[in-house]
Structure formats: C-alpha cells, structure tokens
Structure 1
C-alpha cells in the first residue's frame, strides 16, 4: 500500500467561519489583551464571533493572526503551540462531527482532506499512506513569511489535538520535522507532539503509525456520518456561491449539463463570445475572481452528478454523457477526485443511508 492524497484546496485563500478567530481572541483575552485590539480593522466585533453562520475571507483571519503575533509572540515564543492546542474537534462544527462519526481514522483523514476548506488552516497537507507509517507533508510556500512559523506550529498542533480527540487519547507522532531553524524553546512543541522535533530539514512533515488507520473510532456511526457529510457538502456549496463574472459563467454552464440539456458544455471561447468579451479577457477576469473556466465546469459537473446519482435512476454511463464526457471512465476518475469514491459507491451509500434513516 502506497498512496498519496492531497487536500481539496491548494491555497489558504478560501472563505471560512469565525470559530478560529474566536479561539485566537479568547487566547489573547486570557493573556490580558483586549479583544478589540486583536479585531481592529477587520470589521468584526466580539459579539460577531458567536454567530455560527458568519463567514469571513481568509485575509480577515490573517489580519487577526498578525495582530495576535504582534501583541503576544515572536518566532521563539511558542505562541503557535499555545494557540494550536486550543483547537478541538468541536471547534470545527458539523465538519468536526462528520470526522468524529467516521468509522476509522483513515476514513476521517480522507474526509478531512476532501472538505479541507471547512477548516481554518493556512498550511495545506499532502498525506502519504504506506504500510508502516502515514506521513503528512505541509505546504506553506504561499503563506506570508511574517506569520509562517506561527501558522505552521498552530496548524500542526491543532491537527494533533483533533486526531487525539478522534481516537479518544493522546497520539504520539512517530516523527516531526520542520524546514525551519530550531526555535529558542522547542520544548513546548516536543511536549505537545510526543516526539522530539527535528529542525532544518528539507520538508515540514509529521508521521503517525499506520496501524492507527484501521482503529475504529469511539463515536463511529454510519447514519450520523451520512447526515453530517451531506451538511458539509451543502455548506461548501453555500460558501462557494459565486457572484460577478464567475456567476455569469456558471449560469451558462448549468443548462448544458442538466437533464434535457444538450450534454456538451460550451467552450471557453463560446462563453466569452456570449458575454461579449475576448477569451483572454474572460480568462483574466476569472483569475482575478480566484477561479477558472475549468474550475467552474468541475463545480457544475460535481453538483449535478451528485444530484443525478441521488435523485434519478440514470446509469453512470448516461450521467457521464449528460455531463459532457465521451464515456464513463473519465467521469468516474473525475468523480473520485471530487468525492474520494466512485459514482456507484456514492449512490449505494446514499441509498443505504436513506434506508437506515427511514428505519
């Protein structure tokens, strides 16, 4: 067994809830810093942090991070460890409940990667599965240098805490390596992770024993898992609700893939012509909006594929054709990339979950 699995996002610039900001503000207040100083310039108030539906962009959380580091820490302060240990599975709301109700740690990790944008991390992970050890490499080259070490510490310690919550006891990493010079005080990190960290390495990574993967989670429940995953999927869609040019392109892609539509989506050139602009201009405007024609087409296909698998008796082959694929194979590969499973397995799971809930 040797596989590599990546997070669904490759960058930290995705919308998020305010629970992470609340965690950091609480830490600052306990250290004697007024909440208003940490939130200055963000448009947020302490009261807003209790709103579970409040959504912010990543740059707002980054402003809070910078204020926290300015008020409380340096690279050698251990601030990232102190803040990271405050993140628990309950911090992540329905996303956390979906992980808790997973059957095994392997399933929970795959789910976390698939819905990584429902978290608060700035570092993006890549997980390598092997027979003896599971290695998670952190990528953070796009994270601003002035807060890079804090966020690496915070995110790794937060993941360690969440894994410990999932398994019902402290997890000791097999190793922890950092592509940073050793801080003046590495002891808090070593104590938290249960292993002596190594610094000045080529990559930032941590490992856990492979045997933990198949260990049943204490709160595993298939029906709860199915409900929570459905809510995670809906939350991702709401957060990705688009405006402006991206919404206009998306609207032009939807009719082609809906039942009764022509099946073949319009090309980028055709969409640009319909919007009375050049292909180059459309491509540039989509890039400025943080998306692309290919990304929007994937979103539309993903959404409609799940709808058709759940609500219609159409075969996988017919759905593939309806979505504009020449045959089923490339659709199956794409669906597995979107969801981590095959269309047939997804349909069986949805049918099974519905039956369990009716029972």
Structure 2
C-alpha cells in the first residue's frame, strides 16, 4: 500500500477509530488497537533527531493521535508508522525500543485487571480472554504443556507492514508484564520470534538476557509453568470487582458481531492447537447445539468459519515468517503437509509455496 501524505491523508485516519464507553474507555473496533503501548514513539523519534510530526503526516495520520492512550489506530496505519520510523531513524529494532517502555500500565483496564487477579494463572487468563478490548488485530495465547508455559502473540490482521516490529514490541511488553506479575526474579527460559533473525541480535540479548530463537513456529515467551501458581501481591479485591463489571460492560458493547467474536476465539484456539466446536462453545459459555443453531441462523457452519480462520493464519505465517510448510501444517492442526497444501489450494487457487513465491516477486 503506498504511503500517503498531506491533509487529505490525515483525514484517512481520524484521531480515534472507536467510540467510547460512559467511563471514557475506547471500544476497539476490528483491525485496530489502543494507542497506549505506542505512546513512546514520538519521544523515541525526537531522541533520534527525527521529527515525529513529519513521520505521522507521511504515514497519513494526525500527530494528535498520540496525545491520549485511549485513542485507537488501525493495524494498517501502525505498520506504516513503524516502517517509516525504522527508515527515518535507521534503527532496525525500533519496535523493540517501543515495547521496552511498555508494560502492564500501557494495557489499560485489561492490564489493571490482570494486576489485581489472585494469582499469575488467573492474571494471564484475564489477559488472554480480554485483550480483544485493547487489540483487535492479533490474539494472545497461553499454552501449558507438561512443565512448560508459553505466552504467545499472533497477528491475524491482513496486509500489515512491519509485523516484525510489532512482534518485537509485543514480546518486550509481555516480558515487562510478566516481571510485574511475578517479580524481578522471573525469567523466561527462551524467547521465540516467528520472523527472520535480525542482522544485529545484541539489542535483543541485552534486553531479554535469555536464549533467543528466530524463524520459530510462533512468537512467544517460554517459561516454567510453576510460575502460574504464584499468588499475586498487593491485590485489591474490591477494585477487581469494579474492573470486572466495567469489562463486562465493554464486552457487551463491543461484541455485537457474533461472527467477529467467534473468529477471535478461533484464532486463539487454532494457535493453541485445540480449535474444536466444544472448546469454542465452552469459551462462549453456551452448549454446542446453541452455537450451531446460531451459526445456522446466519447461514454459516462451524467448519466454514474454521477453514476461513485457518486460511487467514496460514497467509500470515507464509507472509511474515520463513517457517517450512511442514511446520505451518502442524501449527494449523493438519495431519500432513499434503493435507494443508490441498486445503490452501482450495482457498486461494495456488499452492502455499507458489503463493509465498508470488509475494517475494511483488
């Protein structure tokens, strides 16, 4: 997508892409996220002797967007902004620098509820269940296998530039989030990135101080699952009840589109490896027959929705990572690479390999 500039381009992305609840919190629409974690961008640019106003205008957004953490920005605009930040500053790890300054406080009401949860497991469950109120272009996941836990983040929004920068920032924020929840002694055993290895790994080593793996199956923090049972300190139960009530109100206001809500849930379940109709119904607090009846009334089946969501994730993995086809097939819960190839050809008219090759020639 070409970068636009000038007054007409600014009008393309208004200061806020969402309406607000009575308490003034943003109702985040599909394909957008709260500006809160991105607030450091203008100051970082100034420190690198780059005029942030020029960058914002070239990206086609109003610089005033960054004056209120409850404003929202589209993922498309964010990708353009980060691409320009990297180009103008000459800093290839700009997204990491943005994320380093973020943490639980930058996640608004979702971060606050996590901070006042009784234990780390509940805190992360609240984070995963409610981050869609803050971010509707990606999904977080929490997976526990044997003695290992993985806190991940997967972008599903299409046609987003600089996803590597977004992933870097997300992992830095998640790292700071876990430090707040668990204390200074918490350390991941490994940090995974689904994008290619950067030319210079040193900024990543200096911040995370643990083994790093690039071109991984997903982007995630890997840590011992025993941390999940740690009780939280300084919890205010009364404040938690208030936050839960406000979040429930936001969920009711923002989940008017049942299919969009289902897609978000399926995106998380596919990445976690358990996209069944029973698990989906459980997360929606309804019987599977009720779920199927609602889908039938909309003229869509669960399998159709699951296939469409798998296709979206497959495109993201082919576009933004160098994962082998066999690993992508496993990530999407296919029994074999050939089964994934047949499904992708049915969706797109091309094999996954041909689709990826065509992107490289665009």
TM-score of the superposed pair, with normalisation by structure 1: 0.58
Is 1:160 the equivalent of 2:175?
A: yes
Distance 1:139 1:148 in 2: 10
Instruction: State how 1:1-359 maps to structure 2 within 5 Å.
Output: 13-40=30-57, 41-46=59-64, 48-73=65-90, 77-120=92-135, 123-140=138-155, 142=157, 144=159, 146-169=161-184, 171-239=186-254, 292=259, 336-338=282-284
Once the two structures are TM-superposed, the CA of residue 240 in structure 1 deviates from its matched residue by 5.3
Distance 2:101 2:260 in 1: 39
| Higher gyration radius (CA) | 1
Structure 1 residues 103 and 150, CA gap change in structure 2 (3 angstroms)? same
Contact 1:171 1:193 (C-alpha < 8 Å) held by counterparts: no
Distance 2:143 2:221 in 1: 11
Distance 1:45 1:239 in 2: 26
Distance 1:43 1:238 in 2: 26
Contact 2:76 2:160 (C-alpha < 8 Å) held by counterparts: no
Contact 2:95 2:165 (C-alpha < 8 Å) held by counterparts: yes
Q: Deviations over 1:213-260 (max 9, x none)?
A: 01111222222112112222323444556xxxx7xxxxxxxxxxxxxx
Contact 1:20 1:120 (C-alpha < 8 Å) held by counterparts: no
Match of 1:304 in 2: none
Q: Deviations over 1:21-64 (max 9, x none)?
A: 32222322232222212321544233x43335434433333332
Structure 2 gap segments, 5+ residues each: 1-28, 266-277, 287-362
Distance 2:94 2:54 in 1: 17
Contact 1:103 1:221 (C-alpha < 8 Å) held by counterparts: no
Match of 2:309 in 1: none
Distance 2:279 2:49 in 1: 52
User: Tell me, what secondary structure is at the counterpart of 1:99?
Assistant: helix
Distance 1:205 1:99 in 2: 18
Distance 1:112 1:209 in 2: 18
Once the two structures are TM-superposed, the CA of residue 195 in structure 1 deviates from its matched residue by 0.9
Structure 1 residues 180 and 294, CA gap change in structure 2 (3 angstroms)? closer
Structure 1 residues 333 and 130, CA gap change in structure 2 (3 angstroms)? closer
User: Tell me, what secondary structure is at the counterpart of 1:217?
Assistant: coil
Distance 2:41 2:239 in 1: 30
Aligned length: 245
User: Tell me, what secondary structure is at the counterpart of 1:213?
Assistant: helix
